[in-house]
Structure 1
């Protein structure tokens, strides 16, 4: 699944265009590498998101195309 789509479906970022802008601004890393919006993500990948001066690290636990809002938190876990 594309990185920008995963960020939107998991509700880490609310809109796909905002997720795309984050990745294009080099504020998202996948497994320690700066990621493009089209970067393919899979289970077990580690995402690092920089928002302002904060860094949040997530581990992808599952990939699904359609998820209800209540189940979105089951797709990832926050490491830091």
Structure 2
């Protein structure tokens, strides 16, 4: 099964065209190789998908016959995404909400530098 069709079938993308676009932009890897949308996937493959600032890691368990319901998705894939990825996304969204209120315009260079300095301090 094509990698774009597989990701659409297991509900990582809302449409196949969005899955195809992600593959064309290099956001999908199979076994650590950047792939084209037509690359076939097989049970046992590890797929990495960069979507919404999260690096999802999926193990293919089986190939679905077509798009499956939300309750059946776990029969066809095992999600190996680390929990830290979701926490980081939550922190980024909270930071953006606090830092820049809606309607205040784009951040200035000084704002960006201050934010970079703050993030460096948190890493240390």
Same fold flag (TM > 0.5): yes
1:75 alignment partner in structure 2: 76
- In terms of Rg, which structure is larger? 2
The structure richer in strand per residue is 1
Aligned alpha-carbon RMSD (Å): 1.3
Q: Name stretches of at least 5 consecutive residues in structure 1 with no aligned partner.
A: none
State yes or no: 1:24 paired with 2:24.
Answer: yes
- The structure 1 segments of at least 4 consecutive aligned residues displaced by more than 3 Å after TM superposition are none
| C-alpha distance in 2 between matches for 1:66 and 1:55 | 24
Larger RCO: Structure 1 or Structure 2 (Cα < 8 Å, ≥ 6 residues apart)?
1
Deviations 1:26-66 (A, max 9, x none): 00000000011000000000000112432110100110222
The TM-score normalised by the length of structure 2 is 0.60
Aligned length: 80
| C-alpha distance in 2 between matches for 1:48 and 1:22 | 11
The structure richer in helix per residue is 2
Q: Name stretches of at least 5 consecutive residues in structure 2 with no aligned partner.
A: 82-124
The TM-score normalised by the length of structure 1 is 0.91
